[in-house]
Amino acid sequence: MKKFNSIPALVMIALLSFTTACKKDSDPNGNTANSSKEFTAKFGAQKQSIQINASALPQTITLAGGSKIVFPIGSLTKGGTPVSGNVTVEAYEVLKRSTVLFTGANTNHATGAPLSSDGFIFIDVKTNGSSVDQNLAIPVKISIPAKRTGATQLWVGVDQQNQPLQADAGNQMAWAAPRQANGVGMKEVQPTQDAFTFDFGSLGWINCDVFYNFNNPKTTVTVEVQNNPGTMASFRAFGGETFVFFCAKGSNVAAQLYTPNGTNKVKSYDNMMPIGSEGRMLAFSIKDGRYYYAAQETTISANQNVVLTLAETTEAAVQAAINSLDNY
């Protein structure tokens, strides 16, 4: 009687089972991120790491999107002591409206008034894996590509308590006037040689923005999100899954609405949305690998209430909708 070799058969069964499991686990819609936090991490602004020698300042670095940072002599300290040797500059660039949304960031002033962004970046410098002093001994010089004429203004990223923004489930991005340091504080900057170039006295989130429709009368806008699978998202989805934005037509505004106002409802800051502004109110949510999206063209009106009904869609469709905002 011929003996049957069971080992190859068992291997084949295992391979078939593994292949079947992989087929079951793969998403038929091509979705790759399982949550809003994964989505912002994968498709938002990516960390750029550049090494410089702090003992040989000044040093200039150029980021992938064209932003430039000059570190002058004496600018980098740790606990007040000058830093020496190799350090790593970690940076993010957010230069397009689509990148703002993909990153889960926003263009909200600390008061909640919408800002029109000329681009913002994040800068951290680490020595032996630890961040140097955020408040700089000597300001750095920053250049951010300018896509328009006219002045911009400088802002620093903070949380709702006007403190440096930290990754936390409850924290939201907001922009505030930068600290006064060595004569460098809030000021207007005109574009020169296709860039906004300025000195800045601290590291962290740094922004070039102007107020959007500042002279319009203001109101409070409420948005109800129907068919909402999750909770309202904080900055970069460190908490929650569902983002709500107002994106102005013809202006680089990405105002996030996140203040709770009832079940599945959020509102703008009180009396901060400019009446008469045209744009798109949109919401997207990603939870358990499933994607949802809704959008509505709107003109901001007094005490406006907007209802957005989320419908299930695909990752590719959400990406396409966000990318289209760059030319909106």
| pLDDT tens, residue by residue, 223-257 | 999 999 999 999 999 999 999 999 999 999 999 99
Peptide bond into 72 cis (omega under 30): no
Rg (C-alpha) for the chain, rounded Å, is 23
141 forms beta bridges with 70, 199
Give the pLDDT score at 20.
42
What is 218-327's CATH topology?
Answer: Immunoglobulin-like (2.60.40)
Distance (Å, whole) CA 167 – CA 291: 24
Average pLDDT along the chain, 328 residues, taken 10 residues at a time: 42 42 62 97 98 97 98 96 97 98 95 94 96 94 96 89 80 82 66 95 93 95 98 96 98 96 96 97 98 98 98 98 97
H or E element, residue 144: strand 135-145
Residues 6 or more apart whose Cβ sits within 8 Å of residue 292: 227, 228, 229, 242, 283, 284, 285, 286, 310, 311, 312, 313
What is 38-211's CATH topology?
Answer: Chondroitinase Ac; Chain A, domain 3 (2.60.220)
Q: Do domains 38-211 and 218-327 have the same CATH topology?
A: no
Residue ranges of the domains in the chain? Answer: 38-211, 218-327
Class of residue 77 by CB neighbours under 10 A (exposed 0-12, middle 13-18, buried 19+): middle
| pLDDT tens, residue by residue, 201-216 | 999 999 999 999 989 9
